[in-house]
Chain A
Amino acid sequence: MTQSVIELAVTDQDRRVAWLATAAVALSLVDAAIPSPLPGVKPGLANIVTLVVLTRYGWGTAVWVSGLRVLAGSLLLGFFLAPGFFLSLTGTTLSLLTLGLARHLPARWFGPVSLSILAAFAHIGGQLLLARAWLIPHDGVFLLTPVFAGAALVFGTINGLIAAKLLAEPEPAETTHV
C-alpha cells in the first residue's frame, strides 16, 4: 500500500461519532419516507439518537452527531443548501442549544421525555422563525403554529419514550462496533 503523506489518527471517539451519525442518518431517511400530511410535520426519529448520545456521551458528541446527520442526510436526500437544509439546520441548532441548557435539569425529575419535548418545541420554533424571516415574510406562516406545536408535543413525547427505553437498557460494549 502506498504510504500516505498525511496520517489521520482515528480515535475511538471519531469511530463512535461516525457510527452514531450513521444511525441518525438512517433514521432521517426513514423519516423522509413516511408520508406527512403537512410539510414540517415529521416524526423526527433521528432525534432519538441525539437524545441517547446526549445522555450517554455528552453534549459535544451530540452536536457532532446532529451536525453530521443534517449534512449527510441532506446530501442523501438531495436538498443540501436548498431551503429545507437551512430549515433543518436552524431547527437542529436551536434544539441542540435547548438540550445544552435542559440537560442540567435534575435528572431525578426530568428524563429523556422532558428533553425530547423541549427539543421538539425548539426545533419547530426555530424553523417557523426562519421561515417567517426568510422564506415567507408574512405572519400567515404562524397560522399553522398550533398544529406544529401539537405535532411537536406528540412526536416529542413518543421519541422521548423510545430514547428512555433505549437508555434503560445496558450500555453496549464499545468494541463491538469496530
Chain B
Amino acid sequence: MHWLSLIRPGDWLMMLAGLATVGGSIPIFWQGGLADRAIIRQEGKVFAEVDLRSRKQFEVGGPLGTTLIAVEPGRARIVSDPGPRQYCVRQGWLMRPGEIAICAPNRVSLQIAGRTKVYDSISY
C-alpha cells in the first residue's frame, strides 16, 4: 500500500503520542466518571441514595407538600414540586455527576453522584 510508505518511523510514534494525549485527556476532562447514584436530600439530610441502574419513583414530603422524583437508568429528574417557581422541575433530566436540582421552597434536592467526588468550587 503506497499510502503507508509515506509514513516515516517517527510519524508512527507521533500518532501513538497523539492517541495517548487523546486517551489521557478523557479522565482529565471527563472527571467524575459515569453517573451511578442519585442522592435525594430533605432538609439537608439524606432521604434516599439510589443506584442509577434502577427505575423508581419517590415521594418526598416537605413544608409545602410532596415533591415527586423519578429515577431511571442513567438519569433522574424532579417530576413535580409544590414550589412557586418550578426551577427544579424545569431543569429536566440530570445525567452528569455533580448535577443538582434544588427545590428550595420545599427543601428538597436531587443530586447525581459518580465514583469520584466532583467539587462545585474550591477556595484556599
Contact = CB atoms under 8 A, between A and B. Distances in A.
A152 B22 CA distance: 9
A153 B19 contact: yes
B82 to A, nearest CB: 32
Interface string A139-155: 00011111001101100
Contacts of B10: 105-106, 109-111, 114
B73 to A, nearest CB: 23
A71 interface: no
Interface in A23-59: none
Contact of B7 (A111, A149, A152, A153): A111
B21 A108 contact: no
Contact of A149 (B6, B11, B15, B22): B22
B9 interface: yes
Interface residues of B, number: 18
Given A117-B14, A145-B29, A161 B21 contact: no
A49 to B, nearest CB: 17
A161 B30 contact: no
Interface in A82-129: 105-106, 108-114, 117-118, 121
B3 interface: yes
Given A109-B8, A110-B10, A157 B15 contact: yes
Contacts of B7: 111, 113, 161, 164
A146 B31 CA distance: 12
Contact of B9 (A109, A117, A160, A168): A109
Interface string B12-35: 001100110110011011100000
A165 interface: yes
A25 B19 CA distance: 30
B11 A111 contact: yes
A156 interface: yes
B22 A114 contact: no
B8 A108 contact: yes
Contacts of B8: 108-111, 113-114
A146 B22 contact: yes
10 contacts: A105-B10, A109-B10, A113-B8, A113-B14, A117-B14, A118-B14, A144-B29, A153-B19, A161-B3, A164-B7
Interface of B: 3, 6-11, 14-15, 18-19, 21-22, 25-26, 28-30
Given A109-B10, A117-B14, A161-B3, 8 more contacts: A111-B6, A111-B11, A112-B6, A145-B28, A149-B25, A150-B22, A157-B18, A161-B7
